[in-house]
Amino acid sequence: MLELYEVPLNINAISEEHLNAPLGQLGLGVRAHMCLKHSGFNTVRKVLESTDAELLSIKNFGRKALRETKEALRNHLISYVGPIKPRVDIEAELKELRKDIDDLYERSDEFNTRIEDLEYEVL
């Protein structure tokens, strides 16, 4: 599946009507549109189900056309499924990571103290 977002797109959240929309509804530039059309990509679904590599293998369809197509798809999908947000609450994740780091520092202090105690016992 074409990677449009940092998180996987749930294609089931999009109605069949919108997935089967003609490629022309994306508002692509002539080059990107014609390359896709001549390669049998007639619907939004067909493009979404493709990978970057598959699209880049199309004759005369380069990175610029790929970026343009992805942007057009994002804009098209936002109007139907709304902005797609990451599943992860970044602030909560950062807070949890900071807590883990603090715990590691505390444990390393305990470890260093234990090493010092053992060195003292050996001497």
The residue-averaged pLDDT of 12-17 equals 76
Q: Which of 118, 107, 44, 106 minimizes the C-alpha distance to 77? A: 44
What confidence tens digit (pLDDT) does each residue in 46-85 have? Answer: 998 888 899 999 999 999 999 999 888 888 876 655 554 5
Q: What is the full DSSP assignment across 61-116?
A: --HHHHHHHHHHHHHHHHHHH-PPPPSS-HHHHHHHHHHHHHHHHHHHHHHHHHHH
pLDDT at 10 over 70: no
pLDDT at 109 over 90: no
3-7, 38-42, 51-55: segment of lowest average pLDDT: 3-7
Query: Which phi and psi angles does 43 have, rounded to 5°?
Result: -130, 160
